[in-house]
């Protein structure tokens, strides 16, 4: 099978099947061999790996994954792409095409059945409209993952990587960094896709921490505090938490906890590191 990373091969397949792009599914197909090779090498796929690909499209990245992995599961929501995938992936015996919404799939069940519950690698050129829910679902529902190597909107990749004191810092940065080590491995311009997206993209690899970088007694509470403080990021932390219906602590309790941690009472949430959010939640749940 000729690589779909070459634009003329992709165009040929799209014409053969009279394929119409569905905007609501975030369909931007990769047409750049160097970018595809970059994703594959950043993901470090070996012939022992079970790989989950989210949104295979016409199978461009999937072909590369099938060449290297032991087994690939490719989950695609658009039923019109299923016959195309059956065609473009016909040379490979190590791929299962699953016609489902990734947010409705029992991924843990799949990993138990196909990989004995051992950590998998996730590789994808993600549909941008659901990047954050997909990544949060993988982490928060504790799917056994070793790494997640994905193409996302450049701005979202930046948000995952930054620390306090920058405008991009927020709940996504803290969640990603609690679970994984992020590293942007490539910046990708719009002309590497068909159709071209309106924004720049980046490939980011999230390598799961063996153990969390901070000690937290109540993970769920820490994330409630984080979300509440960034929901109102212009407010002080005390006011942000006080206005939140899901944070059951009074202004006085929060002020006392901040004092214990040596933080000023008028500090904003956006100034706190992951370590400080962990300490704050440990202090409050005492």
Chain residues binding ligand SAM by CB under 6 A are: 25-30, 54-57, 60-61, 75-78, 81, 101-103, 125, 127, 130
Please classify residue 7 by burial: count the beta carbons closer than 10 Å to its beta carbon, then call 0-12 exposed, 13-18 middle and 19+ buried.
middle
Q: In terms of CB distance, is 1 or 285 closer to ligand SAM?
A: 1
Q: Which residues contact 55 (CB under 8 A, 6 or more apart)?
A: 25, 26, 75, 76, 77, 102, 124, 125, 126, 127
Q: Cβ of residue 134: shortest distance to ligand SAM, in angstroms?
A: 8
Q: Cβ of residue 24: shortest distance to ligand SAM, in angstroms?
A: 8
Q: Which residues contact 67 (CB under 8 A, 6 or more apart)?
A: none
Pull the structure tokens for residue 90.
């016909």
Q: In terms of CB distance, is 122 or 272 closer to ligand SAM?
A: 122
Q: Cβ of residue 78: shortest distance to ligand SAM, in angstroms?
A: 4
Q: Cβ of residue 33: shortest distance to ligand SAM, in angstroms?
A: 12
Q: In terms of CB distance, is 26 or 119 closer to ligand SAM?
A: 26
Give one DSSP letter per residue of 85-153, joined into a string. Answer: HHHHTTT-SSEEEE-S-GGGS-HHHHHHHHHTT--EEEEEE--GGGHHHHHHHHHHTT--EEEEEEEEE
Cα(199)–Cα(212) distance, integer angstroms: 32
Q: In terms of CB distance, is 205 or 268 closer to ligand SAM?
A: 205
Q: In terms of CB distance, is 127 or 240 closer to ligand SAM?
A: 127
Q: Cβ of residue 36: shortest distance to ligand SAM, in angstroms?
A: 8
Q: Which residues contact 72 (CB under 8 A, 6 or more apart)?
A: 50, 51, 52, 53, 62, 65, 66, 92, 94, 95, 96
Q: CA dihedral in degrees (134, 22, 93, 107; nearest 10)?
A: 20
Q: In terms of CB distance, is 110 or 272 closer to ligand SAM?
A: 110
CB atoms within 10 A of CB 221: 19
Q: Cβ of residue 188: shortest distance to ligand SAM, in angstroms?
A: 11
Q: Cβ of residue 126: shortest distance to ligand SAM, in angstroms?
A: 6
Residue with nearest beta carbon to ligand SAM: 55
Q: In terms of CB distance, is 97 or 278 closer to ligand SAM?
A: 97
């Amino acid at each position: 099978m000729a690589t779909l990373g070459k634009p003329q091969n992709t165009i040929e397949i799209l014409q053969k099947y009279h394929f119409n792009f569905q905007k609501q599914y975030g369909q931007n197909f990769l047409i750049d061999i160097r970018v595809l090779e970059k994703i594959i090498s950043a993901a470090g796929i070996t012939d022992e790996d079970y790989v989950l690909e989210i949104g295979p499209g016409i199978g461009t990245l999937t072909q590369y994954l099938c060449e290297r992995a032991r087994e690939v599961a490719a989950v695609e929501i658009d039923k019109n792409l299923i016959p195309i995938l059956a065609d473009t992936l016909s040379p490979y015996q190590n791929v299962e095409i699953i016609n489902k919404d990734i947010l409705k799939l029992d991924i843990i069940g799949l990993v138990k059945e196909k990989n004995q519950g051992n950590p998998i690698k996730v590789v994808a050129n993600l549909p941008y409209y659901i990047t954050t829910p997909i990544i949060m679902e993988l982490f928060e529902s504790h799917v056994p993952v070793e790494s997640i190597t994905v193409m996302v909107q450049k701005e979202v990749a930046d948000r995952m990587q930054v620390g306090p004191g920058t405008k991009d810092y927020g709940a996504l940065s803290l969640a990603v960094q609690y679970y994984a080590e992020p590293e942007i491995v490539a910046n990708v311009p719009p002309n590497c896709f068909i159709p071209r997206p309106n924004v720049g993209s980046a490939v980011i690899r999230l390598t799961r921490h063996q153990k969390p970088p901070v000690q937290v007694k109540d993970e769920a509470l820490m994330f409630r505090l984080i979300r509440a403080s960034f929901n109102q990021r212009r407010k002080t932390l005390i006011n942000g938490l006080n206005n939140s219906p899901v944070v059951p602590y009074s202004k006085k309790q929060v002020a006392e906890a901040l004092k214990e941690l040596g933080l000023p009472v008028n500090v904003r949430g956006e100034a706190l590191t992951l370590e400080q959010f962990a300490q704050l939640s440990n202090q409050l749940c005492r």
